[in-house]
Structure 1
Amino acid sequence: MVTLRSDRSYFIVILVTAVVLAGWTWALMASRGFDEDSLRILIRGTARSSAILFSLAFAASSVHHFVRSDITAVWLRWRPHLGLAFTVSHTVHLIFLILLQEYIHPVFTLAKATSLFAGGTAYLFMYLMALTTFTAIKIRISPWFWKYLHLIGSYWIWAIFFNSYLKNVINRGRYHGLLALLSIVMMLR
C-alpha cells in the first residue's frame, strides 16, 4: 500500500541519488575540468548507473516470484525507490547530453529523428511512471491506467537500453556485462 510515509522515503531517495551524482560530477570536474572527455565520462557513467537501477527495478517482481525470501520481499518493496533513483540518474544523464549539445558537440542535431523519438518517448514514460509513484497522483488515476503505463513504459525503456547496449557490443565491443544483465532481466519476465 502506498502511503504518505512512503512518499517521504521517495523524496529521501531522490535527494540521496542527486547528492551522490552531484558529488561524483563535482569530483570529476574538479580533477579534470569541464571538457568533452569529462562530459563523455559523466554521460557513460550515468547511462550505466541508469541501466543498472532500471534493471534492478524491472526485475524485482520477477525475482521475488521465482525466489520467495525476505531479501526479495525487501527488494520488491524498494522497487519504487529504485525506479525513482533511476529517474534521477537518467535525468542527470540527459542534462549532461544537453551540455554536450550546447557547448561541445551537436549530439542531438546529428542524431536520427527515429532515435530522438524513441529516446524522447522513453523519457516521457520514465517521468510519467515516476510521477505516478507518488500517492497524490496515484490515487487520482485508475489502477488500470497505472498498470498499463508502467507495463508499457518499462518494456519501452528496456528496449531502448537493450538496443543501445547491443549496438555498443556489436560496433565497439563494449558493455557485454550490461547487455547480459538486460538479457537476463528480460528472461526473468
Structure 2
Amino acid sequence: MLALFEGKRIFVPVILLLAAFITSQISAAGGYVAALPDMMIPTAHMGFIFFFFAFTASSLARLAPGTGPRFLMRNRRYIGLSFALIHGTHGVLVLSNLALTDASRPAPVLFAGGLAYLFLLAMTLTSNNAGVRAFGAKHWKRLHKQGSYYIWAIFMITSTPKLIMEPSPKGWIPILGLVALGLRIAAYRQGKRKQATQE
C-alpha cells in the first residue's frame, strides 16, 4: 500500500486533498474572502501532520526500525516538500486575510512568522542533491536542522496558549509537538549510547 505513494507520487494525494478542501470551503462560504477564516487553521493543522513525520523520520527509524519508519526515511524529502506546499498555501491564506480584511497581527508575530517562512523557503529550495552539493553536507544539515527546530518552536508557541486557554480535542498540535521532541531526544541519546559502547 505504501508503495503507491513512493517519491514524487506523494504529491498527488496532497495536491488533490488541498484543492478539494479549498474548493469546498470557497463554495460553501460563497467566496474566497468569506472562506478565509475557515481555511487558515485547517491548513496549518494539515501541514503540521507532514511536518511531524518529516521531523521525526530519522528518530523513528533509529528507535523502531520497521516498514513504516523505512518508508518515512526513503521519502522524507518529499514529505518535507509536501509540508512546504501545504504551509505555503497557509501563508498565502494568512496574507490574503491581512490584505483583504480588517484582520491584523502584531509586528513581533509577523516577524517571527516571516522568519519561519524564510527558513521554509531556504529548506525547500535546497531539498535536492544540487542543494546539498552547493551548501556542502555540513552546512546543508545545519540549515535544515536549525530551520526545522525553529518551525517546530513556532508551531508550539502559536498553539500552546490556545490549548491552555481553551482545552479541547483540537489542541493536539502541542501534544504531538512534545512527542516529536521526545522522539528526537530519545534517538539522540540512543545514538550516543551506541557510540560509547563502540569506543
Q: What TM-score, normalized by structure 1, do the two folds share?
A: 0.86
List structure 1 segments (4+ residues) > 6 angstroms apart after TM superposition: none
CA shift for structure 1 position 38: 2.1
Superposed CA offset, 1:102-160 (max 9, x none): 222332xxx22221121111111111111111223332221111010011001000000
1:109-120 correspondence runs (5 A): 111-120=105-114
Residue aligning to 1:177 = 172
Whether contact under 8 Å (2:131, 2:140) holds in the other structure is no
Residue aligning to 1:188 = 183
Whether contact under 8 Å (1:13, 1:84) holds in the other structure is no
1:97-116 correspondence runs (5 A): 97-107=94-104, 111-116=105-110
Q: Which structure 2 segments of 5+ residues have no match?
A: 1-6, 185-199
1:41 to 2:41 alignment: no
Residue aligning to 1:6 = none
1:154 to 2:151 alignment: no
Residue aligning to 1:5 = none
Residue aligning to 1:127 = 121
Matched to 1:185, the amino acid is A
1:17-166 correspondence runs (5 A): 17-34=14-31, 38-107=35-104, 111-166=105-160
What secondary structure, in the 3-state scheme, does the structure 2 residue paired with 1:173 have?
Answer: coil
Matched to 2:142, the amino acid is Y
Of the two, which has the highest radius of gyration?
A: 2
Whether contact under 8 Å (1:43, 1:93) holds in the other structure is yes
Per mean C-alpha deviation after superposition, the further-off stretch among 57-66 and 68-77 is 68-77
Alpha carbons of structure 1 residues 18 and 180: separation in structure 2 relative to 1, 3 Å: same
Identity across aligned pairs (percent)?
28
What secondary structure, in the 3-state scheme, does the structure 2 residue paired with 1:148 have?
Answer: helix
CA shift for structure 1 position 69: 1.3
Q: Give distance in 2, aligned partners of 1:84 and 1:102.
A: 26
Matched to 1:62, the amino acid is S
C-alpha RMSD over aligned residues: 1.9
Q: Give distance in 2, aligned partners of 1:156 and 1:92.
A: 19
Q: Give distance in 1, aligned partners of 2:131 and 2:62.
A: 28
Superposed CA offset, 1:5-30 (max 9, x none): xxxx44x5446533431221111211
CA shift for structure 1 position 36: 5.7
Matched to 1:170, the amino acid is I
Whether contact under 8 Å (2:60, 2:69) holds in the other structure is yes
Q: What TM-score, normalized by structure 2, do the two folds share?
A: 0.82
